[in-house]
Structure 1
Amino acid sequence: MPSPKSKTGALLSIILIVTIWGSASAVTKVAVESIPPYFFAFLRNGVAAICLIPYYLIHKKKMQLLQAGPPMKKVALMGLTGITFFYLFFNMALYYTTAAAGALIQGFIPISIILLSIIFLKERLRKVQIAGVVCSMAGVVLIGFVGEFYGARNAILGNTLMIFAVLAWGFYTIISKSLERYDAVQLTAISTTIGTLVLIPAVAIELWRTAEFPSVSFKAWLAVLYLGIFSSAICYILYNRVLKTLSGVQVGNFMNFDPVIGAAIAIIFLSEKVTVWQILGALLVLMGVALTSRRGRTKQ
């Protein structure tokens, strides 16, 4: 596995992350057809926590960390935003909409980070960056709310929930970036554990409403293990480490490939259809991201 400590290692790591995360929409779509969405979120992140905690304890002992622990309020917020709320919205979104549409909407993540930075960090954009934000927002509208959605239970609801998932991830990234001086393994292990535990009430209500304990198929267990080990445990550690080496703009630029990979996988392996409106919307989102990622993006 590439080491994110060097620039080359960080670039290889973000490519690996984007490839694995690009497949997450299609894999989740298959899983939530047989497992209730909240229960699947708990299983996936439970597997991630089981992998992360021993690794963190071994890592801490080996490295003999003398650094003071991170502020637990912020770590808890990482867990709530990047685990609890993100997967509650993400999994439920993919139950209602298509994997392709969900993946394309995730292209809005870099813009969501910028918008949240404007609101909470008081950053300001130049006119060209403002145009980029508007362009991307228009693209999301075309992807999620215009035209036909073949094979979706309720595309409008699902796509709206995916927007909330994107915003939750934007919060997670901003909080994670503010803690970049702390150990990434520690941050990921603790925040994942907290976020997974907070999922329990939602899972309990979901299972109570279904009035039966779901039967998890072999294929669904493979999805749980793949997403829990690779997409959550490994990629979350790499992502938090990459944020220490690469700039937010560089990370955002690579994350643009996530929706493209996700949509391609959904089309090839799930036989989903992408409309002209969705393709046009995806192009607008990418154009908007390109505009907002230009040098001198923000003014303090």
Structure 2
Amino acid sequence: MKKQWIGAILLLFATIIWGVAFVAQTAASDSIGSFTFNAARSLIAAVLLSAIVAGKEKISEKRLIAVGKAYEKSARRKYLKKSLFSGVFCGLALFAAVNFQQFGIEKYPEGVSASGRAGFLTATYVVIVAAYSAIRHKKLHPVTLISCVGCLGGMYLLCMHGGVSKIYFGDVLELLGALSFAVQILIVDKYSDLDGVALSCAQFWATAVISAVCAAIFETVRLSDLISAWLPVVYAGVMSSCVGYTFQILGQKSVRPAVASMIMSLESVFAALAGWMILGEKLSGVELLGCALVFVSVILSQLSSAGEASRKEKGEQNINADKNSEGKEEK
């Protein structure tokens, strides 16, 4: 249960970082293309995480030797290799997600609330992950289902300022982005037993390489444009990518995918708050109500998940106690 709360806190911190990064992404979009931006931010994250992985291994080796334990180099290398290989699959999904999202925003016509529609449609990955979990496990906790509905309702109030009067090509791209984010969340969950930092490292190398190739083919890359957008690129690379996505991978080790996706959907709430604090954007009463509804839905889902984990833990303890008492009686 303690691990579950730590995981939830890591996911919450990641979500706050991503929310603020929305301001950085908006600023960078005025200077550089989507592929260029995602290649640069991912490269920064990949280089930093590579250094962390290398340093982490040296520290682990020294600690084991200091306490007189054997450092199984071949076994550790095999474990890291598996983590890095699996991270490539995460990277493919992340590449699709971040670029679909950015291109979707660019494709909206003038006069349309691009960020609002994109925010709401991206948040539909909450439903996609919950639906997958329900199909796979043949059940979905009622509180989780209610939280999903509340979360989507809150996202609608927060993001869809002008309502839905027409479907745009950008909407289709945003839904593809939401599907890609859902796939990335589920892949991370599948490999939650592997080295989280190494997984994140490989994820960003894959995203950086593919985005760089696409930028070279489809965009005009100028060093002067990158320099003019250095601050949002560095923030997105260090905080949003390196720190945020690593927190996501580590947090998901102890949090169910359906609950994790709801916590991460708070990104739009923090993006709205960051826009208000940094850019001076105003939040209406309806938008504030949407923020509150999403927040309450996430808290409700987390409390339900924690209670379920606590009951499961107590049940296992009772079973173990019964087994021990039976063993004593036989003696």
Distance 1:135 1:254, change over 3 A: closer
Distance 1:23 1:71, change over 3 A: closer
Q: Pick from 10, 24, 27: which aligns with 2:24?
A: 27
Distance 1:292 1:254, change over 3 A: closer
1:96-141 per-position Cα deviation (integer Å, ceiling 9, x unaligned): 464454344444343232123345x354336776676567667767
**Once the 2 structures are TM-superposed, how far is the Cα of residue 35 of structure 1 from its aligned partner?**
0.7
Unaligned residue ranges in structure 2 (runs of 5+): 62-72, 309-331
Instruction: Look up the match of 1:189.
Output: 201
Unaligned residue ranges in structure 1 (runs of 5+): none
**What is the RMSD computed on CA atoms of the aligned residues?**
3.8
1:71-107 per-position Cα deviation (integer Å, ceiling 9, x unaligned): 666432211012x112211222333464454344444
Instruction: Look up the match of 1:147.
Output: 162
Matches within 5 A, 1:229-244: 229-244=238-253
Matches within 5 A, 1:26-65: 26-64=23-61
> C-alpha distance in 2, partners of 1:6/1:122?
22
What SS is found at the alignment partner of 1:124?
A: coil
Instruction: Look up the match of 1:216.
Output: 225
Q: Pick from 171, 175, 178: which aligns with 1:163?
A: 175
AA in 1 matched with 2:173: L
What SS is found at the alignment partner of 2:101?
A: helix
**Number of residue pairs matched by the alignment:** 284
Distance 1:234 1:138, change over 3 A: closer
**Once the 2 structures are TM-superposed, how far is the Cα of residue 45 of structure 1 from its aligned partner?**
0.5
Matches within 5 A, 1:274-289: none
> C-alpha distance in 2, partners of 1:183/1:71?
6
Matches within 5 A, 1:41-190: 41-64=38-61, 66-67=75-76, 68-69=78-79, 70=82, 74-82=86-94, 84-95=95-106, 96=108, 98-118=114-134, 121=136, 123-125=138-140, 147=162, 156-190=168-202
AA in 2 matched with 1:191: Q
> C-alpha distance in 2, partners of 1:160/1:282?
25
Structure 1 or 2, whichever has the larger Rg, is: 2
Distance 1:215 1:101, change over 3 A: farther
**Once the 2 structures are TM-superposed, how far is the Cα of residue 213 of structure 1 from its aligned partner?**
3.2
> C-alpha distance in 1, partners of 2:142/2:293?
17
> C-alpha distance in 2, partners of 1:80/1:167?
13
> C-alpha distance in 2, partners of 1:101/1:192?
27
Instruction: Look up the match of 1:245.
Output: 254
1:208-254 per-position Cα deviation (integer Å, ceiling 9, x unaligned): xx5x6363265511111111011111222222111223444553453
> C-alpha distance in 2, partners of 1:201/1:32?
19
Distance 1:138 1:255, change over 3 A: closer
Q: State TM-score, norm by structure 1.
A: 0.75
AA in 1 matched with 2:87: V
Q: State TM-score, norm by structure 2.
A: 0.69
**Maintained 8 Å contact 2:83/2:194:** no
What SS is found at the alignment partner of 1:76?
A: helix
Greater per-residue helix proportion? 2
Instruction: Look up the match of 2:237.
Output: 228
Q: Which moved more, 1:277-286 or 1:91-100?
A: 277-286
What SS is found at the alignment partner of 1:244?
A: coil
**Once the 2 structures are TM-superposed, how far is the Cα of residue 173 of structure 1 from its aligned partner?**
1.3
Percent of matched pairs sharing the same residue: 21
